[in-house]
Structure 1
Amino acid sequence: MSEAIRPDDQLRLFIERIERLEEERKGVADDIRDTYNEAKSQGYDAKIMRQIVQLRRMEPHDRQEMAAILDTYKAALGLG
């Protein structure tokens, strides 16, 4: 029969797991930053690329709604 994990051991395991995941997240964030820098060095606009990534994450109906609201605001301000 296996012995139950003590609460203090369980807490330590959770903390260690979180620390590993945080380190992985930092590594991924560094890779993303490096990719944007590489694209920028090839002449692409990283700011626009970030906006495109954000748009691609959105559901189509949310994207359409945002575009409609943006058009309404631009028209109200005489921008377009």
Structure 2
Amino acid sequence: MSDGNVSADQLRLFIERIERLEEEKKGIADDVKDVYAEAKANGYDTKTMRSIVRLRKMEKNARDEMDALLETYRNALGIS
């Protein structure tokens, strides 16, 4: 490949792998959507659940920094 030649077979395999992974990703996204729909049907607030999922992905120090900044902004705006 250093001389500009492209292996058509290798390229096709890469493209096919990407396409399969994209399809799997779509399937997983649909599954996640179904779980949120089920939670909503059971009375849970999905917007809050999404926030919790996002917070759980964050490292503790990043979450603490975000909380402190949010508190600072809330205080500045008089929001208790």
Q: Under a length normalisation based on structure 2, what TM-score does the superposition of the two structures give?
A: 0.92
Q: Measure how far apart 1:50 and its partner are.
A: 0.2
Instruction: Name structure 1 gaps, 5 residues minimum.
Output: 1-5
Instruction: Name structure 2 gaps, 5 residues minimum.
Output: 1-5
- Count of equivalent residues: 75
Summarize the alignment of residues 50-65 of structure 1 with structure 2, pairs less than 5 Å apart.
Answer: 50-65=50-65
Summarize the alignment of residues 34-49 of structure 1 with structure 2, pairs less than 5 Å apart.
Answer: 34-49=34-49
Aligned partners of 1:20 and 1:26: how far apart in 2?
10
Runs (4+) of structure 1 exceeding 4 A deviation are: none
Summarize the alignment of residues 1-80 of structure 1 with structure 2, pairs less than 5 Å apart.
Answer: 7-80=7-80
User: Alignment RMSD, CA only?
Assistant: 0.9
Amino acid in the other structure paired with 2:44: Y
Q: Under a length normalisation based on structure 1, what TM-score does the superposition of the two structures give?
A: 0.92
Give percent identity, aligned residues only. Answer: 64
Deviations 1:22-71 (A, max 9, x none): 00000000000000000000000000000000000000111000000000
1:3 is aligned to none
